[in-house]
Amino acid sequence: MFRAMITVLAFVFTASSAWAQSCTGNPVAVQVLGSGAPGFVRDRANTSYLLWVGNQAKILLDAGGGAYVRFGQSGAKFSDLSMILVSHLHPDHVSDLPGVLWSGRNQRQDTLPIVGPSGDEAAPSFSVFLDRLFDPRNGAFEVLSSVMPNSKAPGVKLQPSVIDVTRPEPATVFDRDGIRVTALGIPHGNLPTLAYRVETQGKTVVFSSDQNGTNPHFADFARGANLLILHLAIGVGAKNPNQALPAVVGQMAQSAKPGRVILSHIANFDLDAAVAEVKQNYSGPLTVAADLQCTQAP
Ligand SMILES: [Zn+2]
C-alpha cells in the first residue's frame, strides 16, 4: 500500500514538471522524452523514449523533434546506450537523430547497434536512410560521416540492422548483455513501421509505434508486457486510416493484458474524451504520457 502511494506521488510529480527528471534507481523503467504527435503540441516533443535499467539508459527508441533537448534534460549518458531503435521514418520519429549523434559521437569509441525498418515505395530502407544522411561523399551530413561503420575517424560507429517489416513472425534484433529485443511490422499506411519488444531483468516492455491496430499478430507480440506503450494519435471520431482510434487503442490494450499502459504520441484533440474511450475498452492500469515522465515496469 505504502509502495503504491509512492508510485502515485511519483506520477503526479513527474507529470507536473517539465524540468530535468531522473529516471534512475528503478530495476527497469521507461522515460518518455517526447509524448507528442505532429501539430505543434504544447509542452510535448515528438516521439522518443528511453529504457532505463538501473542507473543507465540502455535504449533510445526514436528521436523525433525535441528528443535532443529532452535527452539532455533526462541526464542520460550517450555512452551508456546499448542500442538505438527506430520505428519508422516519419520526421516526428527521426528528425533529431543527427542532433543526438552529433552531440554523442565523441563520448564513446565503440560500436552502437542501430535498428530500423526495411523500405518500400514510400520510404527508403533504414540503411539507405543512414547513407543519405551520413555518407562521407553524398550524405546530407557529410560532417557526421565519422559515425558510419567504415569510417576511420574517431568516435562512435553505428552498426545498422534493417528489419523486414513484412515478416509475419517477430524478428530478433538484439540478444546480448541480458537484453533481448524483437521487432514486428505494424500497419501504418504504406510506411514500413516496427513495434519493439524488450525483455530484460525479468521485465518486458513493448513499444508500439504509430499503427492502425489491424495486425492480428500484435496482440501476441504485446501479450503480458509489464509496460505497453501505445500511441493515442487521433481523437474520438477522427478519420485516419494510418492510426488507431481511441476505442481500438483500448481494445489493443485489453487483449495484450499488460501490467500498465502508457498512452503517448498525443496530438491537439480532446484528450479527456479520447482517454475515456480507451477506458471503455480497457480496464487495466493506465498512464497518460508527459515529457520526461518516468514509469517503472510493474
Ligand atoms: Zn508515423
DSSP string, the chain: -HHHHHHHHHHHHHHT--S----TTEEEEEEEEE-B-TTT-TT-PBSEEEEEEETEEEEEE---TTHHHHHHHHT--GGG-SEEE-----HHHHTTHHHHHHHHGGG--SEEEEEEEPPBTTB--HHHHHHHHH-TTT-TTGGGGGGSTT--SSS-EEEEEEE-TT-SS-EEEEEETTEEEEEEE--BTBS--EEEEEEETTEEEEE--S--S--TTHHHHHTT-SEEEEE--S-TT---TTS--HHHHHHHHHHH--SEEEEE-B-SS-HHHHHHHHHHH--S-EEE--TT-EEE--
Q: How far is CA 26 from CA 81, 104, 298, in A?
A: 16, 24, 10
pLDDT one-digit tens code per residue, 145-192: 999 999 999 999 999 999 999 999 999 999 999 999 999 999 999 999
- Report residue 18's pLDDT band, with 50, 70 and 90 as the boundaries: very low
Residue 111: exposure state from Cβ atoms within 10 A (0-12, 13-18, ≥19):
exposed
What is the CATH number assigned to the segment(s) 21-290?
Answer: 3.60.15.10
Quickly tell me which residue has 547497434 as its cell. 113
Taking the centre of ligand 1 as the mean of its atom positions, its distance from the CA of residue 272, in whole angstroms, is 22
Residues 198-214: what's their mean pLDDT?
Answer: 96
pLDDT at 247: 97
Taking the centre of ligand 1 as the mean of its atom positions, its distance from the CA of residue 274, in whole angstroms, is 19
User: What residues does the ion ligand 1 have nearby, CB within 5 Å?
Assistant: 90, 210
Q: Among 137, 78, 130, which residue's Cα sits nearest to residue 106?
A: 78
Residue 239 pLDDT greater than 70, yes or no: yes
Q: How far is CA 213 from CA 71, 108, 170, 247, 285, in A?
A: 29, 38, 16, 10, 20
Taking the centre of ligand 1 as the mean of its atom positions, its distance from the CA of residue 271, in whole angstroms, is 19
Taking the centre of ligand 1 as the mean of its atom positions, its distance from the CA of residue 74, in whole angstroms, is 24
Put simply, whether the predicted model's pTM sits higher than 0.85 gets the answer: yes
pLDDT one-digit tens code per residue, 4-14: 544 444 444 44
Taking the centre of ligand 1 as the mean of its atom positions, its distance from the CA of residue 282, in whole angstroms, is 24
Cβ-contact 157, 151 below 8 angstroms: yes
Taking the centre of ligand 1 as the mean of its atom positions, its distance from the CA of residue 122, in whole angstroms, is 12
Give the range among 15-19, 102-106, 143-147, 212-216 with minimum mean pLDDT.
15-19
- Domain locations in the chain? 21-290
Taking the centre of ligand 1 as the mean of its atom positions, its distance from the CA of residue 47, in whole angstroms, is 9
Taking the centre of ligand 1 as the mean of its atom positions, its distance from the CA of residue 278, in whole angstroms, is 20
For 174-204, letters b (16+ CB in 10 Å) and e give: beeeebebbbbbbbbbebbbbbbbbbbeebb
